[in-house]
């Protein structure tokens, strides 16, 4: 496993619904982060893993964008991915 960080979307405001999700760039060497390889039938060229977080504290400086905009960042990413998936078919 070669990744040193992962983009994680976390609920930062339980009452905020879609506006309560924030994106973070989480270094995978933080205390409480563990990972194990995910072995499956497909995409062997791209290594994948299962990430587990146990009481991980992510510094505020690792936030991506404004607090509460994570859901909209995911939706924007889907717009681009739909085109890529369609081209791959």
Q: Which contiguous run of DSSP H or E holds residue 11?
A: strand 5-11
Pairing outcome for strands 49-53 and 63-64: unpaired
Report d(CA 89, CA 86) in Å as an integer.
5
pLDDT tens digit at each of 89 positions of the chain: 688 999 999 999 988 888 899 999 999 999 999 999 888 777 667 778 899 999 999 999 999 999 999 999 998 888 888 888 888 77
Beta carbons of 70 and 16 less than 8 angstroms apart: no
Tally of structural domains, the chain: 1
CATH of the domain at 37: 2.40.110.10
Question: Residue 22 phi/psi, 5° resolution?
Answer: -130, 145
Which structural domain range is residue 58 located in?
Answer: 5-88
């Amino acid at each position: 496993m070669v990744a040193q960080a992962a983009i994680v979307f976390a609920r930062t405001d339980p009452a905020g619904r879609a506006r309560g999700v924030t994106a973070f760039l989480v270094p995978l060497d933080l205390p409480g982060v563990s990972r194990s390889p995910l072995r499956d039938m497909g995409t062997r060229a791209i290594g994948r893993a299962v990430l587990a977080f146990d009481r991980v504290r992510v510094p505020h400086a690792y936030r991506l964008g404004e607090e509460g905009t994570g859901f909209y960042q995911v939706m924007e990413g889907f717009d681009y991915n739909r085109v890529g998936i369609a081209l791959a078919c």
